[in-house]
């Protein structure tokens, strides 16, 4: 993969869900395409990316929201205050969802504990 592509991917990883949504809409308008066909492939790509990660950082992936999705949505929005209620609900309804990436293991363990207390299943990769 070229350095240019890797830089773009890193920039996209740092976007909030709201910013990512705006980017997708802008690209759809600019190029006259729809990203709907690619949405199904996105969750499949996230775990593969985690396997190639190097260094002392990890990512936290929501695998299953469990029975009490409202509490899981609250935790998700607590961790990302810029996330809309709709985006949080979509993430909870359609796992796997990458909650955080490029964070230290200790912080990942704290996040995992919060989600488990809310009844969700989370993996650290």
The reported pLDDT for the residue numbered 18 is 78
* CA separation for the pair 90, 101 (Å, rounded): 19
Give the pLDDT score at 34.
Answer: 67
| pLDDT tens series, the chain, 125 aa | 788 888 888 888 888 877 877 888 888 788 777 655 444 334 444 444 444 444 578 888 989 988 888 888 888 888 888 888 888 888 889 888 888 888 888 888 988 988 899 899 998 88
Contacting residues for 44 by C-beta, under 8 A, at least 6 apart: none
Q: What angle do CA 80, 67, 45 make, to 5 degrees?
A: 55
- Nearest CA to 49 out of 16, 5, 92 is that of 5
Q: Which pLDDT score, from 0 to 100, does residue 52 have?
A: 41
Which class would CATH give 3-124?
alpha beta
Contacts of 116 (CB under 8 A, 6+ apart): 122
The pTM assigned to this predicted structure is 0.53
Amino acid 35: pLDDT: 59
């Amino acid at each position: 993969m070229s350095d240019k592509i890797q830089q773009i991917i890193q920039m996209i990883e740092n976007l909030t869900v709201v910013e990512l949504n705006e980017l997708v809409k802008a690209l759809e308008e600019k190029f006259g395409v729809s990203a709907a066909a690619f949405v199904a492939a996105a969750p499949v790509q996230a775990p593969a990316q985690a396997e190639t990660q190097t260094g002392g950082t990890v990512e936290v992936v929501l695998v299953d929201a469990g029975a009490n999705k409202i509490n899981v949505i609250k935790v998700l929005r607590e961790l990302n205050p810029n996330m809309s209620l709709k985006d949080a609900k979509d993430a909870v309804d359609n796992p796997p969802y990458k909650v955080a990436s490029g964070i230290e293991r200790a912080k990942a363990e704290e996040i995992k504990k919060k989600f488990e207390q809310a009844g969700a299943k989370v993996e650290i990769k």
